[in-house]
A and B are shown apart, each in its own frame.
Chain A
Amino acid sequence: AEDTGVRVELAEEDDGKKDSIALKLWVEDHKKLKGKYKESGAIEFTFDLEKEVPEVVAQEMVESGFFHESDAKTVGKSIRDRVALIKWRRERTVSAAV
């Protein structure tokens, strides 16, 4: 996945069974973002792999004051990349089991 400056990781073990998964997101490289996020912490949230859209969560983070609108696209892409990796691993685990 491209280094967007925003890191997204699993906030819990993924057993591959639940649709909803806890993720944790934080700014790792401030220079890659347009807004100023010097003292920002890590943001943990739940994401439904089947129903939800990464860009919508990113917009909610902007509306909650975590990010500037100008960084919504970057945040959305970072979440999308991690979600894609989680889904890919799940599919690989299932196909290996068959």
Chain B
Amino acid sequence: SATAQVVHSAGRRFIVSPVPEARLKEQ
């Protein structure tokens, strides 16, 4: 699955991926 990474200036890494499939159905 497509993921992207964003590193904040303070050093924290955020990994972005699609919302978990099960939760999309709930919406």
By a beta-carbon cutoff of 8 Å, the part of chain A in contact with chain B is 7, 24, 26, 28-29, 41-46, 57, 60-61, 63-66
Contacts and interface: CB of A to CB of B under 8 A. Distances in A.
Contact of B18 (A41, A45, A60): A41
A66 B19 contact: no
B25 interface: no
A65 B12 CA distance: 14
A48 to B, nearest CB: 10
A42 B9 contact: no
A7 B23 contact: yes
Contact of B12 (A24, A42, A60): A60
B14 A64 contact: yes
